[in-house]
Amino acid sequence: MIDTIVWQKQELKQAAQTLKAGGLVAFPTETVYGLGADARSTEAVASIFAAKGRPSDNPLIVHLASRSQLSELMGPCSRLAEELMERFWPGPLTIVLPVKPGSLSPLVTAGLPTVGVRIPDHPIALELLRLADVPVAAPSANRSGRPSPTLASHVLEDLGGRMHGVIDGGATGVGLESTVVELEGDRAIRVLRPGGVTIEALKRAFPGIAVISDSEDGLAQPEQPRSPGMKYTHYAPKGELTVVEGARESVAAHINGLAAAARQEGLTTGVLAFSEQAGEYKADLVLELGSESRLEEAARLLYAHLRAFDEAGIARIWAEGCEPNGLGGALMNRMRKAAGGRVLRLETPDK
Ligand code: TXA
Ligand code: MG
């Protein structure tokens, strides 16, 4: 057990010192909280995997304060990589690029010849990275398999006693992890994990370039996943979650039927619903994701709500699906993964 410190934002120097000295420091970013360590130190990086209970074949994202640090990690970047950085950094976009051998602990890349890098768009993260002045490997600061943390209290819940400290920066912004992309020369951008930078935003920014998404819903599992993290069950609440997609009226009726049956069996029930329909549901705990017309709010709330169902000890949870467009793409990817693939698609009645 380590005595975990909670730093306030005035105490970034102490946190940066701890990072530099090989410690484990959780910090807020614009996406979710990250669990950071000096990416060059194998001992420090090994302690990230140990604290999270993370499989060692799942590589970590490296966080930088500025593009000038890139030259330590890699040779000159392609034109497309440069343009992506110019357009989306700082921000929720992780770019997978060839790494200079020996520049990072081999644990960071899990033996791959590439590294995922990003510059986060959060004042605390940026200041911490600037003060520490080392590349910082940071996965989401949750125990492996738990929902990613969007509050310092979530980090403490999962990792208290397993890390040196957490910087409390309040709620994170986007609420879902960064978009991870890989480049195919200067011709194509392959989205390995949808996130805060939407596929539509990538297409708008680069009209002449193909934007490829491995799978529409994040469930298709290629034999050899390009992004090793995508093969693991993620973000799972303790209760059994099912996503229900289809016309709104049929979704509400169907979920209410299933919830009634579950209650008959003595199970506690929960529903995750958009505000438009939330009033329709009969369950022990109904949590709202905000309006379906403003998915930013749903993205910010999703993980906290999944944790709230756990706290309430809910055994069966149903979530309303939404259109997988824009931020809805990332939201549905995470919901379907949290559900471990339990997705019900209701037939739309003939018009
Ligand atoms: O928003 C985020 O990205 C947060 C914050 C803390 O920055 N971090 C985060 O890290 O979500 P993590 O470790 O939970 O997810 C990293 C993802 C995994 O799916 C991993 O497989 C993928 O990025 N990844 C990392 N390096 C890669 C590489 N070299 N090639 C392919 N995928 C990579
Ligand atoms: Mg994660």
pLDDT 10s digits, 228-240: 665 556 678 899 9
- With a 6 Å cutoff on the Cβ, whether 179 touches ligand 1 is no
Q: Flag whether 225 is in a domain.
A: no
Q: What total of structural domains would you count in the chain?
A: 2
Residue reference for tokens 């997978």? 96
Does 266 lie in the same domain as 141? no
Whether residues 201 and 277 fall in one domain: no
DSSP assignment letter at 101: T
What distance in Å separates the CA atoms of residue 86 and residue 350, rounded to the nearest whole number?
Answer: 48
Q: Which residue, among 118, 153, 145, has the nearest Cα to 36 in the 3D structure?
A: 118
Ligand 1 nearest atom to the CA of residue 115, by list position:
29
Cα 148 to averaged position of ligand 2 atoms, centre (Å) = 6
| Structural domain that includes position 325 | 240-345
pLDDT tens, position by position, 150-192? 999 999 999 999 999 999 999 999 999 999 999 999 999 999 9
- Cβ 306 vs Cβ 147: under 8 Å: yes
Q: Say how many Å lie between the CA of residue 301 and the centre of ligand 1.
A: 21
Q: Cα of 52 to ligand 2 centre, how many Å?
A: 10
Q: Which tens digit of pLDDT belongs to each residue from 75-127? A: 999 999 999 999 999 999 999 999 999 999 999 999 999 999 999 999 999 99
pLDDT tens for residues 316-350?
Answer: 999 999 999 999 999 999 999 999 989 999 986 65
Whether residue 134 is found in the same domain as residue 257:
no
pLDDT, residue 220, reads: 47
pLDDT at residue 307, as a whole number: 96
pLDDT at res. 227: 64
Q: Which of 140, 144, 191 to mutate to test the pocket of ligand 1 (most atoms within 8 A of CB)?
A: 140
Q: Has residue 116 been placed in a domain? A: yes
For the cut 80, the answer to whether the pLDDT of residue 214 exceeds it is no
Residue 108 contacts residue 59 (beta carbons within 8 Å): yes
Same structural domain, 252 and 154: no
338 touches ligand 1 (CB under 6 Å): no
User: Residue written as tokens 């976009």?
Assistant: 93
Cα separation, 173 vs 343, whole angstroms: 27
Q: Are 209 and 290 part of one and the same domain?
A: no
Question: Does some domain include residue 227?
Answer: no
- The residue whose C-alpha atom lies closest to atom 29 belonging to ligand 1 is 115
Residue 1: predicted pLDDT: 84
Whether 61 is in the pocket of ligand 1, judged by its Cβ within 6 Å, is yes
Q: How far is the CA of 323 from the centre of ligand 1 (A)?
A: 25
Q: Whose CA is nearest to atom 3 of ligand 1?
A: 178
Atom 33 (ligand 1): residue with closest C-alpha? Answer: 227
pLDDT the model gives residue 221: 46
Whose alpha carbon is nearest atom 20 of ligand 1?
A: 229
Alpha carbons 231 and 288: distance in angstroms, whole number:
29
Residues 252, 144 share a domain: no
Mean pLDDT across the stretch 202-208?
96
Q: Which of 33, 48, 177, 226 to mutate to test the pocket of ligand 1 (most atoms within 8 A of CB)?
A: 177
What residue's CA is closest to ligand 1, atom 13?
139
Q: Are residues 13 and 62 in the same domain?
A: yes
Write the CATH number for 179.
3.90.870.10
Residues 295 and 153 in one domain: no
pLDDT per residue as tens digits for the range 313-325: 999 999 999 999 9
Q: Is the dihedral of CA 322, 324, 330, 332 positive or negative?
A: positive
Cα separation, 79 vs 142, in Å, equals 35
Q: Is residue 56 part of a domain?
A: yes
Ligand 1 contact via 142 beta carbon (within 6 Å): no
pLDDT score of 275: 98
- Domain membership of residue 218 (yes or no) is no
> Percent of the chain having pLDDT more than 70?
93
- The ligand whose atoms approach the alpha carbon of 35 most closely is 1
Biggest alpha carbon distance in the chain? 65
Q: Is the CB of 26 under 6 A from ligand 1?
A: no
User: Residue 235 domain-assigned?
Assistant: no
DSSP H helices in the chain: 12-20, 42-52, 70-73, 79-88, 106-109, 123-132, 152-159, 199-205, 248-264, 275-278, 295-311, 327-338
Question: What mean pLDDT is reported for the chain?
Answer: 94
Q: Is 320 in the pocket of ligand 1 (CB under 6 A)?
A: no
Looking at the structure, tell me whether residues 82 and 165 fall in a common domain: yes
Last residue of a domain, one of 213, 248, 264: 213
What are the tens digits of pLDDT across the range 56-70? 999 999 999 999 999
Which ligand number lies closest to the CA of residue 228? 1
Same domain, 68 and 193: yes
- pLDDT at site 218: 45
Residue 248 to residues 216, 239, 243, 291: CA-CA distances in angstroms?
A: 21, 23, 13, 13
> If pLDDT is split at 50, 70 and 90, which confidence band does 222 have?
very low
79 by Cβ neighbours in 10 Å (0-12 / 13-18 / 19+) ranks as exposed
* β-strands 93-98, 210-213 pairing: unpaired
Residue-level pLDDT at 215: 59
225 has a pLDDT exceeding 60: no
Query: 155 CA distance to ligand 2 centroid (A)?
Result: 12
Residue 306 located in a structural domain? yes
Q: Which residue has the tokens 């009033």?
A: 279
The alpha carbon of 116 and the centre of ligand 1 are apart by a number of angstroms equal to 7
Q: Is the pTM of this model over 0.85?
A: yes
* Domain containing residue 294: CATH number: 3.40.50.11030
Is 274 buried (19+), middle (13-18) or exposed (0-12) by CB count in 10 A?
Answer: buried
Is the C-beta atom of 73 inside 6 A of ligand 1? Answer: no
Q: What is the pLDDT of residues 245-285, one digit of tens each?
A: 999 889 999 999 999 999 999 999 999 999 999 999 999 99
pLDDT at 223: 45
